[in-house]
Structure 1
Amino acid sequence: MTRIEDLDTPVLVIDRSRMDANIQAMAERMRTAGIALRPHFKTSKMIEVAKRQHDAGAVGFTCATLNEVEALLDAGFDDLFWAHAPATPAKRRRIIDANRRARVIVGLDSTELVELLAAEADTAGVTVPVRVEVDTGLRRTGVTGDQAVAVARAVATLPGVHLDGIYMHEGQLASMRGERDALRDAGRAASTALVTVAETIRDAGIDVPTVSVGSTPGWDSAPFVDGVTEARPGTYVFFDANQWRLGSTSLDRCALHLHTTVISTVRLQEAAIDAGIKALSSDGSNRDNTFGVVVDDAGTPVAELDFTRAYEEHGVLDGPAADTMRVGERLRILPNHACGVVNMWSRVAIVDDTDVVDLWNPVARY
């Protein structure tokens, strides 16, 4: 049996038992509450993970890209939501073609795109399910409540499309600082605003079957407002340092780590490692200027050591603890953001304890 120390570094590693526990816990929480679970595939990008989530009860998957949609279709999944706008003719053709194969919902926030998609889908003899995106505070994409009625009406009245519901991404929660209770209050407030929009659309005589929320920071708050029907967390499958800092999880539930090796200790209170932004991405913490958290074998952060600098293939750790390190020593990094890190890798080691039990390949990396 290959052990993790037999693999050269840097290497991205998933603790299978922790991942499976995360999958089961989220599925059970949503099942108990009567909320449909549609995990975001962009976190894992691995068909093996999607199968585990589906077997645990996920109704389908959320996708960030059409490449993800097509990878999941090829793997046999038939209920997908592409949470992005088909703003180009090529994307509209692909979403229409995808709906010839299975049910693939698309998200958008303008009557202009509704009209374009509806005309092209109708010409192709396909009906595309659509969700209207509502902005509840992120200020990225999404309509206001008043605008949502107009977009929903366009979807409901034009051939070639039909209204599946409305959705939000309460990504603003990921930038919050302070107590977890305040974050939960913000998650519930965002969902309350979304449910109010759904009721406004219904008051206009338009059916809104699905009211969908989506984030891991809000996993224990946003889905549990009366009127919400679906949750779309993604990072929960592995968790990461950002989610730990936000109070979304404990360190013993974090399933994704990067194993790295010390390559230089020539400077006082500094140690260089063989992993930089091409291994971890440049997605920093929302609370401090780091590229991840150095943890010991038990998953506890190493005191007096910060990962504050990263180059393409090099990282630099700073702090008094660096003076005790030696060249060739292996370390473990808890990444800030699991989604960005997985997208950097073509192969991931799957372990039980220290035994390597499989190697999985992320798909649709862009």
Structure 2
Amino acid sequence: METSDQTTVEQLDTPSLLLDLDVMEQNLKEIAQFAKQQGIRWRPHIKTHKCVEIARKQLAYGACGITVAKVSEAEVMAKAGIRDILIAYPLSSPLKLQRVAALLPLAKLTLAVDHAKQAELLDQFFAHTSAVVDVWIKVDSGLHRCGVEPGAETVALAKEIAKYPHLRLQGLFTHAGHSYAASSREEIERIGEYEGQAVAESAAWCEQEGIPIPHRSVGSTPTFRISGRQPGITEVRPGNAVFYDAIQVGLGVATYEQCALRVLSSVVSMRPHERLVLDAGSKTLSLDQGAHGNATVKGFGHIVGHPELTIQRLSEEHGVVAIDRATNLALTDRVQIIPNHACTVVNLFDRYVLHRKGVIVGEWRIEARGKVQ
């Protein structure tokens, strides 16, 4: 619920995690419009925000369901009333499958499969229940993390899954996370095009073998507007696009003005013309400078409105900032920092402080922070 007593963000203690609702809602509107224009579905990954209220916002803007990475995230979201959840992470541990089974009365769950032995273990587990579980095959479109190769290898796994009475193959999906290492817009375009083709063509191969594939899902934040246009794709799953961050700006995917998430921090120490120290260290900003080889960011976050400053190094509670030229900042002054990687920063906080044009309008809990099992 939003409220307002005209308190501004500058009156907060620091460090605080600020969420600009106007910017976030515009980001959601643009994703929803893209999906509608393409005639496809939108299933955002909540690992970025880990917040029930934001998941509800995404559904209100037209998302068909959500994506999670971990069973513990699914538990939070299902218990909060989210009814359609893809767990986009290979599961075979009986401990985790027991937790999945406990959630089946609450939500429609879809599980990821990328290995024949994993499919066998899933079927063996669910044979002891009355469930028939929906599964999607993870296809490797170039990240070389999880997933089977497109084409023949995907078809072979699909045929294996079709043998099992407690599994129901419903889709293929991929994640082109290697787009974060792209050095140009042209490279992102190539990665996104292949991402969509890898899934759509693999689905066509499966269907030629008599195995229907109703869902064909793609979409890292840098590529979803490219892969989502490929013929045969039915769904996109951007996560970071709810907020964007300095990495996305560096990739040319977003502007700083589209970054909805910022860390409010204070100057706690300084040596004029040399350095200053902020109360935002690695336990606030994280040490993340980009996954999969990304090299588009400078320092450990972008200090808004201060091009003369670079967050040069972090210790746990200190952000040491190099002063490249004269700055007007003084002791106790506040700055806002756009994180390099929003997802890792969110996982360090308990709550968002919500604002519209700098006026605080409420708070939202980050219920799934720390949920890594």
1:90-146 CA deviation, whole Å, 9 max, x = no partner? 111122222232210011200111011112112111111100001010011101132
User: Which one is further off, 191-200 or 18-27?
Assistant: 191-200
Give the aligned length.
Answer: 360
* CA contact 1:265–1:325 (8 Å) conserved in 2: no
Match of residue 147 from structure 1: 153
Counterpart-to-counterpart distance in 2, 1:84 and 1:272: 39
Which of 333, 339, 342 aligns to 2:337? It is 333
* CA contact 1:4–1:356 (8 Å) conserved in 2: yes
Give 1:29 shift.
Answer: 1.0
Structure 1 residue 157 corresponds to structure 2 residue 166: no
* CA contact 2:28–2:61 (8 Å) conserved in 1: yes
Percentage of matched positions with identical amino acids: 35
Match of residue 181 from structure 2: 175
Structure 1 residue 257 corresponds to structure 2 residue 295: no
Aligned letter for 1:176? A
Structure 1 residue 290 corresponds to structure 2 residue 296: no
Give 1:289 shift.
Answer: 5.0
Match of residue 235 from structure 1: 240
Secondary structure of 1:192's partner? helix
Gaps of 5+ in 1: 297-301
* CA contact 2:83–2:107 (8 Å) conserved in 1: yes
Within 5 Å, give how 1:1-366 maps onto structure 2.
1=5, 2-145=7-150, 146-178=152-184, 180-266=185-271, 268-285=273-290, 286-287=294-295, 288-296=297-305, 302-321=306-325, 323-365=327-369, 366=371
1:51-87 CA deviation, whole Å, 9 max, x = no partner? 1110110000000111111111111111110001113
Give 1:189 shift.
Answer: 1.7
Counterpart-to-counterpart distance in 2, 1:94 and 1:206: 29
Give 1:154 shift.
Answer: 1.9
Aligned structure 1 segments of 4 or more residues deviating by more than 4 angstroms: none
Give 1:364 shift.
Answer: 1.8
Match of residue 299 from structure 1: none
Counterpart-to-counterpart distance in 1, 2:113 and 2:317: 38
* CA contact 1:303–1:321 (8 Å) conserved in 2: no
* CA contact 2:300–2:313 (8 Å) conserved in 1: yes
Give 1:157 shift.
Answer: 2.0
User: Which one is further off, 320-329 or 41-50?
Assistant: 320-329
Aligned letter for 2:299? T
TM-score of the aligned structures, taking structure 2 as reference length: 0.93
TM-score of the aligned structures, taking structure 1 as reference length: 0.95
Give 1:323 shift.
Answer: 5.0
Gaps of 5+ in 2: none
Give 1:322 shift.
Answer: 6.3
Secondary structure of 1:73's partner? helix
* CA contact 2:132–2:165 (8 Å) conserved in 1: yes
Counterpart-to-counterpart distance in 2, 1:42 and 1:102: 18
Give 1:185 shift.
Answer: 2.5
Counterpart-to-counterpart distance in 1, 2:25 and 2:350: 21
Aligned letter for 2:303? V
